[in-house]
Structure formats: structure tokens, C-alpha cells
Amino acid sequence: MCQSGAHGTEQAWDADDMSSGTGHGFDIIIAGGGPAGLAFARALDGSGLRIALVERQPLETLADPAPDGREIALTHRSAGILTSMGVWSRFNDDDVAPLREARVLNGPSPFALSFASGQAADRLGNLVPNHRIRQTLFQSVQGQEGLTLLAGTGIAGVRTGTEAATVTLEDGRTLSARLLVAADSRFSKIRDQLGIATQIKRLGKSMLVCRVAHEGEHGGVATEWFGYGQTMAMLPLNGRLSSAVLTLPAAEIERLAALDPTALSDELTRRYDRRLGAMTVVGRAHVYPLAITYAHHFAARRAALIGDTAVGMHPVTAHGFNLGLQSAATLAGLVTSTAARRGDIAGSLLLRRYEAAHRLASAPLYAATRLIVELYTDDRPPARLARTLTLRAGAALPFVRGSVTRMLMQH
Ligand SMILES: Cc1cc2nc3c(=O)[nH]c(=O)nc-3n(C[C@H](O)[C@H](O)[C@H](O)COP(=O)(O)OP(=O)(O)OC[C@H]3O[C@@H](n4cnc5c(N)ncnc54)[C@H](O)[C@@H]3O)c2cc1C
């Protein structure tokens, strides 16, 4: 694997080697080395394809990403995909926290709708810090045959034709490939350049996430509390440690994020009604403005979208990366089998099959998540009644609970 960093790390080619139309291009260019882009690269291991992965962040950041506060709830299906890629075994015991039960609370009511794995498994899923997912995925592609990693420069421009996709890097170099895969985040510029329209909804709210140590035991239970005027989730980590996820209007979150650690700890303890006793913030708080996105198409001529670039989920149902990983695995499977038959890895039939499969996987989840957010963040009296009724109905109807549990677990 060749690597190029912003600060002049190894440079194993010259610009002419990578220019388009000379036969020296790549089979695939991946735009973005976030978790989805890296997972896609990893899933192509053994395909024999020449891949360029372009990531704007410097190599040192990719190799050692800083904690970003996100604790990713991984489904069993995602754990299976990461295992088959040889990534799961790279996690330390400390990285993985079991999620045994999820409870949903509404307003001031003590009633909780509970989801547990039942006899199917000992846990609903696992929580793993996002920076460790990024780091282990990065480590897993080290030395991967056929993969060239270009870090420290982004993709500035994209052109697709009948035979190839050509990209211009921010440092002026050009690359060409048979297939361009965009994994450059939910606010993807490349998606725009491909002419793919996208539904983007900015919610005007932000999430504050941070680790908290607490007096009480969480018992491996995640709680999603749709209070009146705030939404607060507590995700169980190893020991008496949880990830606190607080959603409020953006300005209010900015105010809280500026508090000193003691004042923020007091605020979180109070806002969580001391359910876990006194809480103490560990490390720093991170803020994420909330926006959800859904691309109208997941493919264009010689190009495909994966990860958040295809579907930017609301974090409340914890499915963003799970879906992103699934999109990477689905596309990689189609590309690998087509390459083995010496077919066109960017053929319109392949791209249509990918789009159909990922739409089927993502559209119901996206719609259900939107509905949940819209209903459970609406504090007007009719909505409050509907919130109570739907939660009670969910508890009374085992098939509803069963299907939500399956959705959470995704075996
Ligand atoms: C608070 C929070 C909690 C979450 N919890 C969960 C959870 O429990 N479960 C779950 O499944 N998901 C969760 N998610 C969602 C998950 O974090 C995302 O779905 C995932 O990180 C998206 O990965 P990605 O690779 O698609 O995009 P990103 O992580 O956004 O990566 C995109 C990459 O592309 C690079 N890039 C951008 N533009 C260019 C360019 N022009 N050229 C080159 N590189 C470029 C960027 O530098 C970046 O590295 C959560 C999200 C948040 C905010």
C-alpha cells in the first residue's frame, strides 16, 4: 500500500502515473476515509482491484483518531460484517460494552417500554467508541494489496464519462477510475457534483455527548428518555460509566458545552433526575448539530454513494453506521463478484441492484426514525397524548415489541 500525507509521507508514484486516460488509473476511487470508506476498502480485500482511497485528513489523524464522544451501538449483523473483515478481533475488551436492554421513557411518566434480546442472544448489541472503529478499520487496511491511500488532500472536482470517472485533488493532481464511490459525509460535495439531489432536513437542535461516571449501576440498560423540552439518552459502558446524550435547541446546547466540568456534571445529574445518582463528566463534551439526509439516488453514471453520503440517519435509533457498513458490504459484494467474472464494476445493472438493495434496507428505518423523532419531540398536548398511547400500545402488542427488537438487533 502506498501512502501520501500532507507532510510529504512516502510518495510512490508520480503525477503522470495517476492521470486519466493513460491506462494508469485505478479501478475504484473511494472519496472519504471515514468508517464507511475504510470499511468499503477493507471489504474489497482479495478482489484484485486497484483502489485509491482519498481522505482529506492527514495520515496521523487517520492512524490515531481522537475520541469524538460517539459510542456506536453496533448490531449483531454489523459485528458479523466486522468479524468477516478481520476487524472485530482487533477491538480490546475495554472497547466493547454489552447492550442488554433498551428502555424508552416518555415525559414525566415512570412507565418504560422495554426491549430485550430474549432467548435469541445475551445482548441486543454492543457499544464501541467511534474513534476505535475508525482506528481499527485503518489498521486493518495497512498493507492491503492493491490499495493506495492518499491522505492529507481532498477531492475538489469530479467528472464522470461513459468509460471512467476522473477526480481532481485539492493539490491539483488528477486520478481516474472505472468506479467512484463517494463516502464523504452527509453533506457530501461529491454527491452534489454528481448531480444527485438529496433531502436535507436541519433540525435546529444539537446533541451534546460526553462520558459520565455515576454512583448507580446501569445494568447494561440503555435509556432513551423523551422528556418534555429535552431528549436524553444514557448508553451503558463498562463499569459505572455511561455515555450521556442530551438533545436541546442548538443555542442551549452551546451554553451547556461552555460550562466547566463541575457545572456540566451537576446539570446532567439534575436533567437525568438523579436516576443514576450523582454524575461526573469524564473527558470533554462534544457537540453535533442535528441534520438528517436521504439521497434521491444512491448511484449515478460510474459512481455510487455509501455510508452517510447515501443516508444520514438521526442518531436516536443508532443505525447510521450500521446502515453505512451494510451499504459498504453490499456494494463490495456486487463489485467483487462482477470483477471475478471480468464484468463492468460500474455497469448500470450492478449499480441499479446496489441502489435497490440499499433502498430496501434503509427506507423503512429512515421513515420510522423520522416518525419517532417528530412525534417524541413534539410537546403539544395532542402529541403528548399520542406519545403515551403509542408507548402503551407498544408494550401491549408483543409483535410490535418483537419487530422493534429485531430492528435494533438486526441478526
Ligand atoms: C452523536 C452521534 C451518535 C451516533 N451513534 C450511532 C450509533 O449508535 N450507531 C450507529 O450505527 N451510528 C451512529 N452514529 C452515526 C455514525 O457516526 C455515522 O453514520 C458514521 O460516522 C458515518 O460514517 P461515514 O464514513 O459515512 O461518514 P463520516 O464519518 O462523516 O466520514 C466522512 C469522511 O470523508 C472525508 N471527506 C469529506 N469530504 C472529502 C473530500 N472532498 N475529499 C476527501 N475526503 C473527504 C472526511 O474528512 C471524513 O473523514 C452516530 C452519530 C452521532 C453524531
Tell the burial category of 121 from Cβ atoms under 10 Å away from its Cβ (0-12, 13-18, 19+).
Answer: middle
- Domain containing 33 equals 2-66+133-200+293-371
CA-based torsion, 98, 101, 105, 110: positive or negative: negative
Q: Are residues 355 and 298 in the same domain?
A: yes
Residues 286 and 69: beta-carbon distance below 8 Å: yes
Tell the burial category of 282 from Cβ atoms under 10 Å away from its Cβ (0-12, 13-18, 19+).
Answer: middle
pLDDT-flagged residues of the chain (< 50): 2, 4-24
**Measured between alpha carbons, how far is 151 from 129 in angstroms, rounded to an integer?**
23
What is the predicted pLDDT for the residue at 107? 87
What is the predicted pLDDT for the residue at 6? 36
Q: Is there a domain that residue 79 lies in?
A: no
Q: Is there a domain that residue 89 lies in?
A: no
Q: What is the CATH number of the domain that holds 401?
A: 3.30.9.10
Q: Are residues 283 and 337 in the same domain?
A: no
What is the predicted pLDDT for the residue at 399? 64
Number of domain units in the chain = 2
Q: Which atom of ligand 1 is nearest to the CA of 184?
A: 34
**Measured between alpha carbons, how far is 310 from 361 in angstroms, rounded to an integer?**
12
Cell numbers found for residue 128: 464501541
Q: Is there a domain that residue 88 lies in?
A: no
What is the predicted pLDDT for the residue at 173? 95
Q: Are residues 349 and 220 in the same domain?
A: no
What is the predicted pLDDT for the residue at 381? 83
Give the residue, out of 57, 61, 70, 313, with the most ligand 1 atoms within 8 A of its beta carbon, to mutate for a pocket test.
70
What is the predicted pLDDT for the residue at 133? 98
What is the predicted pLDDT for the residue at 12? 34
Q: Are residues 119 and 210 in the same domain?
A: yes
**Measured between alpha carbons, how far is 302 from 300 in angstroms, rounded to an integer?**
6
Cell numbers found for residue 390: 403509542
Interval between CA 217 and ligand 1 midpoint (Å): 31
Q: Is there a domain that residue 75 lies in?
A: no
Among protein residues, the one with the nearest Cα to ligand 1's atom 38 is 184
Q: Is there a domain that residue 74 lies in?
A: no
Q: Are residues 151 and 195 in the same domain?
A: yes
Q: Are residues 299 and 150 in the same domain?
A: yes
Residues 293 and 201: beta-carbon distance below 8 Å: yes
Q: Is there a domain that residue 104 lies in?
A: yes
Cell numbers found for residue 387: 406519545
Q: What is the CATH number of the domain that holds 171?
A: 3.50.50.60
What is the predicted pLDDT for the residue at 188? 98
What is the predicted pLDDT for the residue at 57? 98
Q: Are residues 55 and 139 in the same domain?
A: yes
Q: Are residues 208 and 354 in the same domain?
A: no
Q: Is there a domain that residue 113 lies in?
A: yes
**Measured between alpha carbons, how far is 312 from 323 in angstroms, rounded to an integer?**
9
What is the predicted pLDDT for the residue at 22? 40
Pocket lined around ligand 1, Cβ cut-off 6 Å: 31-37, 54-57, 70, 72-73, 130, 154-155, 183-185, 189, 207, 209, 288, 307-308, 315, 318-322, 324
Cell numbers found for residue 258: 461552555
